[in-house]
């Protein structure tokens, strides 16, 4: 009887672990899609390099999660669904206004902030999952794999938190300078047009 209870407990722990792993995988599926989009749109070389590196890490995380799901779920097919990432969603009208009026530099600052929010949320997810599996005395191999994922999410999040302010300052400073240069060119063009008009009038 005791042996049967132990088997039931182990089976229950496995079922909870597999559900949690599939949840984590759904978020990583969504992360890969977003990171690929960010990679194509990012305008800051050092950020783009970090995104490329983390995209490679995220694909490896997917494989770790799939492998553990197959092992613990006795051959179960890992989910291909995409979870909803923890990105702030402004009201629709405000979102449309931001997207239509923002420059590339402003959008980069906004998306870099979203990058950080996602990484911190994923780190919380992995940390909570590890704690849950430890309480359930679940598979130690699975816990170690989740710890690897956590370490990678924390490292990227730490880099973003440290570098986002510097990148944002550089982008906004460049944008202000570009606007100043644009106004100077406009004034110069206007002045040149007035001079040409004056010359033409004198010639007549």
Mean pLDDT, the chain, integer: 87
Q: What is the pLDDT of residues 72-97, one digit of tens each?
A: 988 889 999 999 999 988 888 887 88
Residues 101, 34: Cα–Cα separation, whole Å: 22
- What is the pTM (predicted TM-score) of this model? 0.81
Residues 113, 116: Cα–Cα separation, whole Å: 5
Domains and CATH numbers, the chain: 2-177 (1.20.1260.10)
Does pLDDT of 99 surpass 90?
no
- Selected residue with higher pLDDT from 68 and 94: 68
| pLDDT given for residue 10 in this prediction | 57
Give the least confident one: 2-6, 34-38, 117-121, 157-161: 2-6
């Amino acid at each position: 009887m005791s042996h049967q209870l132990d088997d039931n407990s182990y089976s229950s722990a496995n079922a909870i672990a597999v559900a949690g792993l599939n949840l984590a995988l759904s978020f990583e599926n969504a992360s890969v899609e977003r990171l690929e989009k960010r990679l194509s749109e990012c305008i800051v070389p050092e950020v783009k390099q970090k995104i490329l590196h983390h995209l490679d890490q995220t694909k490896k995380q997917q494989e770790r999660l799939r492998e553990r799901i197959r092992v613990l779920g006795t051959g179960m097919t890992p989910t291909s669904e995409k979870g909803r990432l923890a990105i702030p969603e402004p009201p629709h009208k405000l979102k449309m206004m931001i997207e239509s009026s923002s420059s590339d530099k402003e959008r980069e600052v906004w998306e870099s902030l979203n990058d950080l929010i996602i990484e911190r949320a994923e780190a919380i997810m992995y940390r909570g999952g590890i704690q849950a599996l430890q309480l359930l005395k679940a598979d130690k191999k699975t816990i170690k794999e989740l710890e690897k994922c956590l370490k990678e999410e924390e490292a990227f999040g730490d880099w973003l938190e440290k570098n986002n302010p510097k990148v944002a300052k550089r982008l906004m400073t460049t944008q202000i300078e570009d606007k100043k240069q644009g106004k100077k060119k406009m004034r110069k063009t206007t002045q040149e047009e007035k001079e040409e008009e004056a010359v033409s009038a004198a010639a007549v």
